[in-house]
Amino acid sequence: MTNLWVASDLHLEFFPPGAWLSLFHTWRMALDAMPLDVRPKVIVLAGDIHYASFVPQVLHDLYDVVGLSIVFVAGNHEFYMAADTVSVTMERLLDAAMRLRQTGRSIYVLYRDVVRIEGVLFIGATLWADGRLGFLPGAGLNDYAFIKEWSREAMMVAHANDLRYLRSILYGLSPDERHRAVVVTHHMPSPKAVAPQYKDAPNGEFASDLNNLILDTTPALWIFGHTHTKTHVAVGSTPLIGHPLGYKRHPSDKIPDCSFVPLLVRDYSAKAHVGAKS
């Protein structure tokens, strides 16, 4: 299987304008230091990278600095402060990605969609959570205040649509194809992915329980974000991997954390310890 670089929750909206270039040059140096036979071929970004209006420029700059194919799935923070609804904002992101590909850049924004790169079938959706693991008390997540026309009900409808898509693709694959399939979502697909310190908290806006789907369809790998805790667990034979940067500095700190690098995933087996130090 193709080597991957996995990252999520960069939250570049908290970086000074353009400072993400320093981060991407760190990635370039890390890539150049790797032996050729272990270098990744694809960067997978599992959401919460920046506000949607900035995402095309971020992906453009990342590709130009690092030179690897990019697979991106939007998180919830991409839609913060957007002037339009989630669906309209998503359409604009897809249009921007298409224009980037027309310039020769291998950049794919997946919204209930698939792409095959280097023999790997990437299956992508945000996978908004379904609420069944409990809601935060009171007004709940900032999503409902900062995403236009968004609510718990809208989140659950979006979850149902995302899940319907993922089920249709995964159950439609042959066993051999499933073993070359990598699912990319922002929200967590299993309670097992929740960080230990939050296991007893309401997690229905962060994670859903798709364990049965994963056990039935056995994708090679499931990459997710939303959590800010680095995570490597498994459901059956499928590794579930989250590798976020998260909020690494005080809001008053003008110097962002540019030492973070993606996780190198070389062995997709659930029992293998993936990657390299970050």
At 146, which CATH number?
Answer: 3.60.21.10
Which single residue is written with the structure tokens 């974000």? 225
In a domain, 207, yes or no: yes
Considering the domain boundaries, does residue 270 fall inside one? no
| Domain-embedded: residue 39 | yes
Is residue 150 within a helix (H) or strand (E), and if so which, with residue range? none
Rounded Cα distance, 7 and 105, in Å: 19
**Enclosing H/E stretch for 72:** strand 69-72
Is there a domain that residue 168 lies in?
A: yes
What are φ and ψ of residue 244, in 5° steps?
-90, 155
231-278 pLDDT, tens digit each: 999 999 999 999 999 986 545 555 667 889 999 999 776 554 444 443
Supply the angle between the helices 86-102 and 55-66 in degrees, to the nearest 10.
30
d(CA 203, CA 191): 8
3-state secondary structure of 182: strand
- Is 273 a domain residue? no
**Domain annotation covers residue 44:** yes
In a domain, 277, yes or no: no
Query: Encoding tokens for residue 86?
Result: 């989630």
Query: What's the structural domain count of the chain?
Result: 1
22-40 pLDDT, tens digit per residue, is 999 999 999 999 999 999 9
205 part of a folded domain:
yes
- Report the pLDDT value the prediction gives residue 249, as an integer from 0 to 100: 56
CB atoms within 10 A of CB 171: 11
pLDDT truncated to tens, each residue of the chain (278 aa)? 799 999 999 999 988 877 899 999 999 999 999 999 999 999 999 999 999 999 999 999 999 999 999 999 999 999 999 999 999 999 999 999 999 999 999 999 999 999 999 999 999 999 999 999 988 877 678 999 999 999 999 999 999 999 999 999 999 999 999 999 999 999 999 999 999 998 888 888 899 999 999 999 999 999 999 999 999 999 999 999 999 999 865 455 556 678 899 999 997 765 544 444 43
- Strand ranges of the sheet holding 69-72, from the earlier edge strand across to the other edge: 107-109, 69-72, 42-45, 4-7, 263-265
- 175 SS3 class: helix
Position 268 scores a pLDDT of: 74
179: containing domain: 4-265
CA gap 108, 115 in Å, rounded: 8
Beta-bridge mates of residue 71? 44, 108
